[in-house]
Chains A and B, each alone.
Chain A
Amino acid sequence: MVAQNLIFGVIAVAMGIAAIRVVTTQNIVHAALYLVVVLAGVAAVYILLAAEFTAVVQILVYVGAILVLFLFGIMLTRAPIGRTSDLDNDQRWLALAVSLLLLGVLAGVLADAFDDTKLPADAAVQRSGEVGTSIFQVYVVPFEVISVLLLAALVGAVVIARRD
């Protein structure tokens, strides 16, 4: 338990610093790389919670695919080398308010849903089979709703990209 708490502390501090650097750094590629650190930190926390499947999927999807595409897009379109001065804008207070609001909502939802529930002391590693079964049987409707949402985003991206 002690070791887990310690490691969680280290990961949390690293994630916090990296998250702040994402918005303060003057180099857009560095910002993306700090985001990689944050997302990898999330995966590390999943491993601490004995959710290996979720952790590896986090790496595979966010670090391995989404951020690679971010970087790819940056390099294909602008590829700034060195500092870029126009990265900042004057909406930082608004951004702070929105992120605090989001934090409040998420924290509220989590606290409401789990309240005082503690993880069982002998929490076993979740088998990937169980994860699959619960996604495709118990939570199949939310899953399908989210896939339609992704489809909408996909179509939207094509529409925006192809104006011909």
Chain B
Amino acid sequence: MYSKREAVGSVTLAGDPLFGGGVDGAVVLIVLLKTGVAFAALMVSVLFMVWFERKVVSDMQNRIGPNRAGPWGTLQTLADGIKLFFKEDLLPEQADRRIFRLAPYLSIVPAFLAFAVVPLGGVITIAGRETRLQLADPPVGILFLLAMSSVAVYGVMLAGWSSGSKYPLLGSVRASAQMVSYEAALGLSMAAVVLVTGSLLTSDIVSEQSRSIVDWNLFRLGFLPFGIFLVAATAELNRPPFDLVEAEQELVGGFHTEYSSLRFALFFLAEFMSTVTMSAVMVTLFLGGPSGPGPDRGFPGAFLPVFWFLAKLMIFLFIYVWLRATLPRLRYDQLMDLGWKRLIPLSLFWLLVLAAMILDRRYGFAVFGAGILLGLLLLRAVQVGQSATDDAAGAAPAVREAG
């Protein structure tokens, strides 16, 4: 009677030695423990990230930054959290109550679920059972990541709509248009990784890159998919320079204008949680996850891989802060141009080149040359078309400019 379920279970969860001998009470406990630890780790990293961002930005701007709560202000985030927790919880009169309450959770849950498929380290032993430092390793890993990043739009969208006011609604339409636009580029650069790995499993993607540093997808795919992924992920996260969602200088506050107290804190948490998750995903996809820069010399599984993973994660967290302190915000039309007219064609082109390269080097170079040629032709065609419309518009170029 149970044969089918066991068969299904063992295939679904293949790979993690924990499930090799069937599922019993101890295994369930270990999985629960892993879930708790992963969640706690993500929470702590959010606390750290908020502090880190404020401290680094203020360093870059010649300010001191938080320095009152705890040593070097490390407890500042905690203090802010407690403050938000005790603030009055407002519910606008026109709000759609149920959806207004639901929306913050819709943005937190995908961020955590996406984190669950990221491999954090090697195999460890808990209570005599071997298990991987990875919460889940579904056979559709990468697609699951993509699905979670597209489901994350709901939180933003519904928060704005359910507030029952037009300004948050405008903010949420802006935000969701941005997130939907950059998803395609994100997916296409993930597809490049899947193409060379030949597997959707995140654990396979990591182990493919573990032999040495030249096997990291960053180098193996020729930097371009990584660059596109970094830009698209930043846009997907609504972080500067793509933070049009809550552009302080232009908007009242974006989609969460009407949120206060704990619910606002949840949005804040979700934003930083997805930043950490996205960085972890980038480490997994392009920088070899928990594998070190040298060839794997068989270090004990627990400590060193986690160290490498965290070190690489820190690089991305720093890059995000750095971008925020450095780059001015894009205009909305520039944002859409970059997404649809630059990143998507570029990532499609590179995907074709990579696919041809896998078949045969010569095909690869042929596709590369043909692609560049066609791209130039297309660019010229667009130029000709544009100057033709400009001539037709003739007398009123100034109006175009203003529009």
Contact = CB atoms under 8 A, between A and B. Distances in A.
B140 A56 contact: yes
A72 B200 contact: no
A60 B146 contact: yes
A45 to B, nearest CB: 14
B176 A123 contact: no
A81 B96 contact: yes
Tell me the dominant secondary structure on chain B's binding face: helix
A154 B369 CA distance: 30
Contacts of A15: none
B322 interface: no
A8 interface: no
A64 B164 contact: no
Interface string A43-82: 0000000101101110110011100110110011001011
Contact of B99 (A33, A53, A56, A127): A33
Contacts of B2: 1
A57 B139 CA distance: 13
B311 interface: no
A29 B138 contact: no
Given A79-B161, A81-B164, A128-B140, A122 B4 contact: yes
A82 B94 contact: yes
Interface residues of B, number: 35
B3 interface: yes
B378 to A, nearest CB: 19
A122 B140 contact: no
B169 interface: yes
B58 to A, nearest CB: 37
Contacts of A27: 96
Given A50-B12, A75-B169, A128 B154 contact: no
A27 B154 CA distance: 17
Contacts of B150: 60, 63-65, 68
Interface in B133-180: 138-140, 143-144, 146-147, 150-151, 153-154, 157-158, 160-161, 164, 169, 172-173, 176-177, 180
Given A4-B5, A124-B7, 16 more contacts: A1-B1, A27-B96, A29-B99, A53-B139, A56-B140, A56-B143, A59-B151, A60-B150, A68-B157, A81-B164, A82-B94, A121-B4, A123-B8, A124-B8, A124-B11, A128-B140
22 contacts: A3-B5, A33-B158, A50-B11, A52-B12, A52-B140, A53-B139, A53-B140, A56-B140, A57-B143, A60-B146, A63-B150, A64-B147, A64-B153, A68-B154, A71-B158, A72-B180, A75-B176, A81-B161, A121-B3, A121-B4, A121-B7, A122-B7
